[in-house]
Amino acid sequence: MSSREVREMPRTFAQQLKYYRGLRGYTCKELGMMAKIDPGYVNSLERGKKKAPTYPIIKNLAKALKVDITDLIDIEPSEGELPLKSIQEVMVNQEYLIKGKLPTMETREDLLGLIEALLDCEWEEHSKHLDSVEILNRVDTFLRSLK
Of 119, 125, 128, the residue nearest 88 (C-alpha):
119
Confidence of residue 4 (pLDDT cuts 50, 70, 90): very low
The DSSP secondary-structure symbol of 127 reads T
Instruction: Give the model confidence (pLDDT) of 95-119 as tens digits.
Output: 788 888 888 888 888 998 898 888 8
Helix (H) or strand (E) holding 137: helix 128-145
Q: What is the pTM of this model?
A: 0.48
Length of the chain: 147
Helix (H) or strand (E) holding 133: helix 128-145
Instruction: Please give the pLDDT value at position 30.
Output: 94
The mean pLDDT value for 16-45 works out to 91
Taking each helix axis from N to C terminus, what angle separates 105-120 and 11-24, rounded to the nearest 10 degrees?
A: 40
How far, CA to CA in Å, does 23 sit from each of 7, 18, 63, 90, 92?
27, 8, 14, 14, 12
DSSP string for 42-107: HHHHHTTS-----HHHHHHHHHHHTS-HHHHS--PPPGGG-----HHHHHHHS---BTTBPPPHHH
Residue 18, CB-side half-sphere exposure with 13 Å CA sphere: 18
Taking each helix axis from N to C terminus, what angle separates 11-24 and 28-35, rounded to the nearest 10 degrees?
A: 100
Confidence of residue 5 (pLDDT cuts 50, 70, 90): very low
